[in-house]
Structure 1
Amino acid sequence: MTTGPIGVFDSGYGGLTVLKEIKTALPGYDYIYLGDNARAPYGSRSFDAIYHYTLQCVEWFFKQGCPLVILACNTASAKALRSIQQLNLPKIDPSKRVLGVIRPTSEIIGNYTHTNKIGVLGTAGTVQSLSYLIEIEKFFPEIKVYQQACPMWVPLVENNEYNSGGADYFIKKYLDHLLSQSNEIDTILLACTHYPLLIDKIKAYLPSGISIVSQGEIVAKSLVNYLDRHPEIEKNCTRNGHSVFFTTDAAEDFVQKATIFYGSPIHAEHLAL
């Protein structure tokens, strides 16, 4: 059994919003973050490409000694997680674990709605996978889920245009498309870890009374619970309070943009996969 840090993976920067919440909830542990920025965004890529990229990154985390990897990316969770868990983990190392962000969100999203009508905003890949419809129905079969892909939102965030006037058009456009599906939607899930940076503008274009749910805190609480329930995994997660960051693209660019998501300066290294 190897011991090592908890791995946190995202196709780019968005997973930093999840890591920030995880570190708040579990500050003593060690973490490795990897953003696959060179091949981002994942949202418009095929199932096979996302599966291949995600598996490659998960295998890299395992080589660093990580006993547990969190896919802090909705698209990777939707299109790669199940295959990795069922097909690859038993062959690579059955003692290790890979978790995603969709299931913990689906387990509690029904607690936010009074009308049993929920809207899901995500990348094209997440929406097309139907993962949220499938998972939410397992826990809350009475809930009707409406989805809307927002292909322009990630580029707006990653190009630091999320506070610009130009962002308003695309934010209003996708919200209008979602709300046109039902006037009873009272809860909207931001099913992409980039979207919390757009929350002020999202609120500005939503009717009052609609709850907005972000995933960072939900995933962090779920991880605390998971480690409590799985001491055989928790004991292999090292505790020195260290965090290191890697990107498959230019480290300088990553460091410059990462502060937007993480909330504090970081140092990152380039990783050639």
Structure 2
Amino acid sequence: MGKKTGPIGVFDSGYGGLTVLKEIVKELPQYDYIYLGDNGRAPYGIRSFETVYHYTLECVQHLFRMGCHLVVLACNTASAKALRTIQQNDLPGIDPEKRVLGIIRPTTEIVGDYSKSRQVGIFGTSGTVNSQSYPIEIEKFFPDITVYQQACPMWVPLVENNEYSSEGADYFINKYIRQLMVQSGDIDTIVLGCTHYPLLADKIQAHLPPDVTLLSQGTIAAKSLADYLERHPEMAAKCSTGGTREFYTTDDTETFDRQAGIFFEEPVSSKHLNL
């Protein structure tokens, strides 16, 4: 008897991963999905490597217990600080047939296709920037590219407090853009290295020079997952195809549902999860 099929797990420290799940569902609507937001312990971006790893592993293991064979870390901080350790150290002992994927690598695999100047910028949380994950991964695929990074600690609070359309948002968007662009005037491609940032994308683009390309991760991650499942039919066969979506949060469900609807662009009804 083969193992029972199960949903694809999508994990984030909070709401941002819903911008990724939204695009994954568009690309692969046939699969079942479970989204887990660890809102009760967010934000991850300011926490230590050890804490992020511990929290992420705990959530991944919970998704495995819920029947997932494949989990996507739709969180840049978790992908930067926990993914490699989980893949190399934990999965062999938990179940060598299960898989955990991140969202940094799919972006770094294609960023060179967009940059003519070979000067690329990254906007991210302090945790993602300090991890150096983007420069390290981009170097593997495009050693001729120079990477410039800018931490944007005010952007996530702006989004989560529904201030992303306000004049205050313009101030902080312009501030971090200036801090990035002063590092190099030849940057022609910028990666939004946090899944909250797509909600600010229109404002960010408006403050950027018109010839700068802005890359959001949702579509990239969705196409990468579709490619992964095509290349690994044995994993695709373990993913159930009922077209269902379930949402879980470690915090208050009413607050989560209200906020999550903004990110997912559809009504969300979640269940509370104790970890």
TM-score grouping bracket, smaller chain normalisation: over 0.9
How many residues matched?
273
Counterpart of 2:194?
192
Q: How does 1:48-67 map to 2 (within 5 A)?
A: 48-67=50-69
| Structure 1 position 166 matched with structure 2 position 159 | no
8 A Cα contact 1:2 1:67, kept in partner: no
| Residue aligned with 1:169, SS | helix
Query: What is the one-letter code of the residue matched to 2:231?
Result: R
What is the TM-score of this pair, normalised by structure 1? 0.99
8 A Cα contact 1:251 1:269, kept in partner: yes
| Structure 1 position 15 matched with structure 2 position 5 | no
Q: Give distance in 2, aligned partners of 1:203 and 1:31.
A: 31
| Residue aligned with 2:147, SS | strand
Q: How does 1:1-273 map to 2 (within 5 A)?
A: 1-273=3-275
Query: What is the one-letter code of the residue matched to 1:255?
Result: D
Cα drift, residue 201 of structure 1 = 1.1
8 A Cα contact 1:34 1:245, kept in partner: yes
Cα drift, residue 40 of structure 1 = 0.7
Q: Give distance in 2, aligned partners of 1:158 and 1:232.
A: 38
Q: Deviations over 1:173-212 (max 9, x none)?
A: 1110000000000001000000000011101211110000
Query: What is the one-letter code of the residue matched to 2:224?
Result: S
Cα drift, residue 2 of structure 1 = 3.6
Mark the runs of 5 or more structure 2 residues left unpaired by the alignment.
none
Query: What is the one-letter code of the residue matched to 1:244?
Result: E
Cα RMSD for the two superposed structures: 0.6
Q: Deviations over 1:1-60 (max 9, x none)?
A: 342000000001010000010011100100000000011111010000000000000000
Q: Deviations over 1:93-137 (max 9, x none)?
A: 001000000111110010011100000000000000000000001
Q: Give distance in 2, aligned partners of 1:29 and 1:160.
A: 31
Q: Give distance in 2, aligned partners of 1:253 and 1:38.
A: 11
Query: What is the one-letter code of the residue matched to 1:77?
Result: S
Q: Give distance in 2, aligned partners of 1:84 and 1:107.
A: 21
| Residue aligned with 1:202, SS | helix
What is the TM-score of this pair, normalised by structure 2? 0.98
Q: Give distance in 2, aligned partners of 1:269 and 1:49.
A: 24
Query: What is the one-letter code of the residue matched to 2:69?
Result: P
8 A Cα contact 1:38 1:248, kept in partner: yes
